[in-house]
Structure 1
């Protein structure tokens, strides 16, 4: 099913007789016009069957014109709860749905991107979906040429990453990884696994790689297998956890050949349970060390 409508004039034709103009106060009218439109669910993060028709109608009414396109910025005031829902989508509400939003959403769907992925894209970076059709298609094709499967969550992440940088920025980040001996193919593998590793700044890339390779003695190729490590905070996660593990190793409580990257990836609660609080005799000293390294709350 292709998103949206009105290309044949059907939606626009329905608007006049039903009396819907700008800022219509009639929720039923708006929902009737947009009934079954997947755009509503996308814009407001509601799954089928969970939609609140009245709220969706209010939000749509903020920018719906007689041609059923979002052509003006919201002027009306609704409850603070309604405004909080619309605030993140001001970019979409200010664009014509049929000229940018719907074609771009359709392009993703036609390439097999799951609706949940598209919904995540719109909720986290709504302005991306309003990119010009030509540029958006270029980005999608570029991601496909990298061999990233549209069915994987990383496809949408890659679209976000590439949309957020120009060619020179991309090349600088590639060169930052190359300085650590990684080949271009290895770098693309890392990007395909976790595009967020390219959303880190060049400085962040260099600092994390320096810590992992020079301080921890790990292989640079580790990033090919675990590219998300680049996205973790050096000060709040990597250094404190490495210090805690090294302390436990010095006490013989953790094997010297323990694979450190695993500890970096644990969620905070699991890390504390497994490595800090479970060692009761050392817990007080260890917790103090951990706190000093990351300003851990009392």
Structure 2
């Protein structure tokens, strides 16, 4: 048996011992197999942190939080700094993480560009809202939540369409490639 197989089986056993159901382990095997190649000591360390934060091992967010915390400490600090730049305290960022652990798996660039687009380009956000609401929005969901719901401001839809047309004209999305600013429908 090769070394990687031994590590993978050991890590699967560690997840089981910590109350992670097989259905979630299968998900990890499918979508984040590299997690199972981690050093068992590191996985145990992260599992303890995830439990201390308050995640329930039987819930999907638990395995997402594991993956997020498996990032290097420098990556974690950079992402925390991005949220700090947008006025979030460490407590607010950790609260967001407990509700939506994906928020710490998104690149710093995407967080910055999406928030910049919504706040500065579109001028839509005047009060704090969930970062995940923005980062996880499809175009149709975004329009429903932030544009078309304001019937008293029909110019908002027009402004959105103009800004979107301008971005398509320049052929750039949040990664600098062709597409839109939002996730596909």
Aligned equivalents of 1:171 and 1:291: distance in 2?
A: 32
1:148 aligns with 2:55: yes
* Residue of structure 2 equivalent to 1:229: 134
1:120 to 27, 40, 56: 27
Structure-to-structure mapping, 1:97-176, within 5 angstroms: 97=6, 100-163=7-70, 165-176=71-82
Aligned position for 2:151: 255
**TM superposition shift of 1:216:** 0.6
- Encode CA deviations 1:28-53: one digit per residue, 9 max, x unaligned: xxxxxxxxxxxxxxxxxxxxxxxxxx
CA distance in 1 between partners of 2:145 and 2:132 (Å): 22
Tell me, in whole angstroms, the C-alpha distance in 2 between the residues paired with 1:166 and 1:242: 35
Is 2:90 the counterpart of 1:181?
no
1:96-126 Cα offsets, whole Å, 9 max, x none, are 33xx222211221222112111110011121
- C-alpha RMSD of the superposition: 3.4
In 2, Cα distance between equivalents of 1:125 and 1:216: 35
Consecutive unaligned residues in structure 2, runs of 5 or more: 169-178, 181-185
TM-score normalised per structure 1:
0.46
Write the distance in 2 (CA, Å) between the matches of 1:289 and 1:180: 26
CA distance 1:96–1:227, change in 2 (3 Å): same
Q: Give, in whole Å, the separation in 2 of the partners of 1:241 and 1:114.
A: 34
1:109 is paired with a residue whose SS is helix
Alignment partners' CA distance in 1, 2:146 and 2:92: 29
Q: 1:152 to 1:118 in 2, by over 3 A?
A: same
For CA contacts below 8 A with separation 6 or more, give which structure has more relative contact order. 2
- Which structure has the bigger radius of gyration? 1
Aligned to 1:217: 125
Q: Deviations over 1:44-92 (max 9, x none)?
A: xxxxxxxxxxxxxxxxxxxxxxxxx3x2xxxxxxxxxxxxxxxxxxxxx
Q: Distance in 2 between matches of 1:212 and 1:244?
A: 13
SS of aligned partner of 2:4:
coil
Q: Whole-Å Cα distance in 2 between the matches of residues 128 and 102 of structure 1? A: 12
**1:131 shift after superposition:** 1.1
Give the Cα–Cα distance (whole angstroms) in 1 for the partners of residues 118 and 20 of structure 2: 34
CA change 1:228–1:140 in 2 (3 A) is farther
Distance 1:175 1:208 in 2: 16
Q: Distance in 1 between matches of 2:81 and 2:46?
A: 21
**Aligned positions of 1:1-298 closer than 5 A:** 69=1, 71=2, 95-97=4-6, 100-163=7-70, 165-214=71-120, 215-220=123-128, 222-223=129-130, 227-232=132-137, 237=139, 241-242=142-143, 246=147, 248=148, 254-256=150-152, 292=165
User: Does the 8 Å contact 2:10/2:40 carry over to 1?
Assistant: yes
